[in-house]
Amino acid sequence: CEATWAQIEWSDVCCCLSLQGYFFNANNPYRDAPSAFAEGQEKAREGDLNAAVLLLEAAILQDPQDSEAWQVLGTTQAENENEQAAIVSLQRCLELRPNNLPALMALAVSFTNSGMQRDACDALRRWISHNPRYKHLAVDGRSPSELQEVLLLFQEAALLNLDCVDPDLQTGLGVLFNLGSDFNRAVEAFSAALSVRPQDYLLWNRLGATLANGDRSEEAVEAYGRALELQPGFIRSRYNLGISCINLGAHREAVSNFLTALNQQRQSQRCSHQQMSANIWAALRIAVSMLDRPELFQAASAGDLDLLMQVFDVGDV
């Protein structure tokens, strides 16, 4: 195990542990916990995302070659609205296990959210080429993936499913249509996936985000509502809900939602300087700026969560 420990650097200027771009929480109380991975998965299922992250990080520190731990850490960080951490984790997973389909799909989604179209298409192409059901469709030695090419590939694959719906394939289609700004078709794809998996809160959020980006904000709010009913700790969906509130002019509701999300992130463990999502703070600042209360904007800029929670009457969940 010495070779892998050498890669984990302990910076002598500050106390940060990092491994090829993933920055671990410094004072992890679960550091030496046995069965950290199993517990991490359980916490993620319960919606306690911050605790899940800490447990999964512990599992990885105990065994940096655990590709499944990297995968779950990646998807959990995405749910926790920490896209960069998600991308790095999923990439580490795929280095260890290049054919991990859930990791490839999750990575494509994260790249899409980050505006990295080419990388998203590449991940989706790899998803097809490693998928036992569809890999015969992928031509080897293809040049860098173009959106239209990969879309065609997924549509060909969909034709193979005449009497059933493959929700994962439909998710890929939904992502591709999002990349091409064809929001109506993306909505159809995610709806098809939901018909097979109506309890999948990730799918409800993806449907909502697609509706929102296609300017159908009211319908988006409904979809996010379904996601949050199924998983109240789903930080990303609550962030999205806040964004839609801004778009609908409901600025107070937007602020409320962002504060709830930030508080949920903070509550779990107060030991890291990276717990709360930068995105959510940025969105909160925007929502607060629209309320025309300069003293609150000052509090938002300084990161004073307690004061804002008091003013907007956001209690502990």
Nearer to other proteins, 23 or 42 (CB): 23
Q: Is 220 in the site for other proteins (CB under 8 A)?
A: yes
Site for other proteins in 12-71 (CB under 8 A): 12-15, 21, 23
17, 19, 84, 291: residue in contact with other proteins (rule CB under 8 A): 84
1, 3, 115, 181: residue in contact with other proteins (rule CB under 8 A): 115
Q: Is 194 in the site for other proteins (CB under 8 A)?
A: no
CB of 37 to other proteins, least distance (A): 25
Q: Is 269 in the site for other proteins (CB under 8 A)?
A: no
Q: Is 267 in the site for other proteins (CB under 8 A)?
A: no
52, 58, 93, 212: residue in contact with other proteins (rule CB under 8 A): 212
62, 97, 102, 114: residue in contact with other proteins (rule CB under 8 A): 114
Q: How many CA atoms lie within 13 A of 83 on its CB side?
A: 14
Nearer to other proteins, 60 or 227 (CB): 227
Q: Is 131 in the site for other proteins (CB under 8 A)?
A: no
Q: Is 283 in the site for other proteins (CB under 8 A)?
A: yes
Our CA angle for 312, 85, 23, nearest 5°, is 105
Q: Is 236 in the site for other proteins (CB under 8 A)?
A: yes
Between CA 131 and CA 254 the distance in angstroms is 40
Q: Is 210 in the site for other proteins (CB under 8 A)?
A: yes
62, 99, 213, 289: residue in contact with other proteins (rule CB under 8 A): 213
Q: Is 289 in the site for other proteins (CB under 8 A)?
A: no
Q: Which residues bind other proteins (CB under 8 A)?
A: 12-15, 21, 23, 81, 83-84, 109, 112-116, 174-175, 178, 205-206, 208-210, 212-213, 220, 236, 239-240, 243-244, 246-247, 273-276, 278-279, 281-283, 286, 302-303
